[in-house]
Amino acid sequence: MTLHVHFGHAVARFLDAERARVGTPSKRYPGCFESDSLCRWQTDMHRQGFRQARLCQTGYGWSVRSGSGLDDFCVLAGHRDGTLPNATLQQALDWAIQWAKKDPTHRYVTD
């Protein structure tokens, strides 16, 4: 699955390169990585402060979620907490970009 990066292209490229450098290629699934090495890499990058925001369409408009299971894919901004009530895609994207700009060397935004 290819994600479209909306903000933080340099961060996303760095993480892709690091994953390719340290990950163990999967013998079974070409283009993927062995689960153990991927989990170690993800945990290490998370400890270093790298974060991803993902745009998600819901029944109540668009929201922004964490892109990591290490954060339990938590909602960063959405309808329920009142941050983005019935948000359009553009409103969610604008919110996510402002979030990423708070630490542009460690944050990026995807769909």
Number of domains making up the chain: 1
CB neighbour list of residue 53: distance below 8 Å, 6 or more residues apart: 64, 65, 66, 67, 76, 96, 99, 100, 107, 108, 109, 110
Of 38, 52, 75, nearest to 4 by C-alpha is: 52
The 10s digit of each residue's pLDDT in 44-70 is 999 999 999 999 999 999 999 999 999
CB 69 within 8 A of CB 46: no
Q: For residues 65-80, give the mean pLDDT.
A: 94
Q: What percent of the chain is predicted at pLDDT more than 90?
A: 93
Instruction: Report, as an integer, the average pLDDT of 86-108.
Output: 97
Domain that holds residue 95: 5-110
Angle between helices 9-22 and 35-47 (to 10 degrees): 140
